[in-house]
């Protein structure tokens, strides 16, 4: 029988970008940048009040220009490069819609979509755009001439992206690392238990213990920008 190939899956959430200056979702009195989630992050909200939702996401898209990747994003890029050099499988999955992983040089599966991308609500054409950032002007679709693109964000009630690829990586993983997520939003919150079930070593970094933490997990409390670089060095010893 051949030995199982070493295989890492890393899942990140809002906490990894908190040290770059982007607000997390939970912890602000249940409000996200002053809004209830259902007023800005559901398909119903987009149908009911597209101007409010558009404005909200235009502000988030603008905010990307004011922040930079931090040591945690960069550490994961280094980890991926070392894994590639050692023929270790590596999959980075994020719930974040910011572009800090890619700006740090990582390839990443954005399971909840991306602020940097717009999608036609009629023909599904995708456009990468961080230029047209006016708050009250929709971006029209160049493919089908529909009057407005929507943010390419997976809203509550919609199906996250890349679930098949993520499931395949999880079922093969020997190491699973969760960084900066509260572990309450599914399906991402369930990845930790899938990894445990396949016998992976599970490591969790967050400021507060997440909802889905289990005594079998190796919990590292602290800021991602301080914890992740050391964790990467440790993992590289182990691979
Ligand atoms: N370093 C590490 N962890 C941090 C830091 C930090 N500097 N700051 C905050 N955290 C931790 C918090 O302790 C918390 O556990 O990050 C987590 C942030 O949790 P949430 O705000 O709930 O973010 P997340 O888990 O990514 O949210 C999941 O919810 O609304 C949706 O779609 C949205 O993708 C998002 C999903």
Identify the domain containing residue 53 by its residue range. 23-66+115-153
pLDDT at 177 over 60: yes
Ligand 1 proximity of 180 Cβ (cutoff 6 Å): yes
Quick check: 11 and 177 in contact, CB under 8 A?
yes
What are the helix and strand counts (H, E) for the chain?
A: 9, 9
Q: Ligand 1 pocket check: which of 10, 17, 24 to mutate, most ligand atoms within 8 Å of Cβ?
A: 24
Predicted confidence band of residue 11 (pLDDT cuts 50, 70, 90): very high
pLDDT at 8 over 60: yes
Q: Is 209 helix (H, G, I), strand (E, B) or coil?
A: coil
Q: pLDDT value at position 25?
A: 83
Domain check: are 169 and 238 in the same one? yes
pLDDT at 128 over 90: yes
Ligand 1 proximity of 15 Cβ (cutoff 6 Å): yes
How far, in Å, from the CA of 26 to the mean position of ligand 1?
Answer: 7
How far, in Å, from the CA of 53 to the mean position of ligand 1?
Answer: 21
Kindly state the helix (H) or strand (E) to which residue 25 belongs, with its residue range: none
pLDDT at 2 over 80: no
Domain check: are 216 and 233 in the same one? yes
Backbone φ and ψ of 212, nearest 5° = -95, 15
Task: Say whether 101 is catalytic.
Answer: no
pTM: 0.97
Average pLDDT across the chain, whole number? 95
Please report, for the domain that includes residue 1, its CATH number.
3.40.50.1220
Q: Is 93 helix (H, G, I), strand (E, B) or coil?
A: strand
Domain check: are 33 and 73 in the same one? no
- Predicted confidence (pLDDT) per residue in 203-218, tens digit: 999 999 999 999 999 9
176's tokens:
């699973």
Domain check: are 121 and 211 in the same one? no
Domain check: are 165 and 204 in the same one? yes
Domain check: are 56 and 78 in the same one? no
Q: Is 110 helix (H, G, I), strand (E, B) or coil?
A: strand
Ligand 1 proximity of 229 Cβ (cutoff 6 Å): no
pLDDT at 74 over 60: yes
Preceding peptide of 100 cis, ω within 30°: no
> What whole-number distance in Å separates Cα of residue 75 and Cα of residue 72?
5
């Amino acid at each position: 029988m051949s030995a199982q190939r070493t295989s890492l899956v890393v899942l990140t959430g809002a906490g990894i970008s908190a040290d770059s200056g982007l607000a997390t979702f939970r912890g602000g009195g249940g409000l996200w940048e002053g809004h209830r989630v259902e007023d800005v992050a559901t398909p119903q909200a987009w149908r009911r009040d597209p101007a409010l939702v558009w404005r909200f996401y235009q502000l988030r898209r603008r905010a990307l220009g004011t922040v930079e990747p931090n040591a945690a994003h960069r550490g994961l890029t280094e980890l991926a490069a070392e894994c590639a050099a050692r023929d270790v499988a590596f999959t980075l999955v994020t719930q974040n819609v910011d572009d800090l992983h890619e700006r740090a040089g990582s390839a990443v599966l954005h399971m909840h979509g991306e602020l940097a991308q717009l999608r036609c609500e009629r023909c599904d054409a995708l456009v990468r755009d961080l230029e047209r950032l006016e708050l009250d002007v929709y971006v029209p679709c160049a493919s089908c001439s529909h009057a407005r693109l929507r943010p390419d964000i997976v809203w509550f009630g919609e199906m996250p992206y890349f679930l098949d690829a993520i499931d395949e990586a999880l079922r093969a993983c020997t190491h699973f690392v969760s960084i900066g997520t509260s572990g309450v939003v599914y399906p991402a919150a369930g990845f930790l238990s899938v990894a445990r079930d396949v016998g992976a070593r599970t490591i969790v970094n967050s400021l507060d213990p997440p909802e889905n933490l289990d005594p079998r997990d190796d919990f590292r409390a602290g800021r991602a920008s301080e914890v992740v670089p050391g964790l990467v060095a440790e993992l590289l010893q182990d691979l």
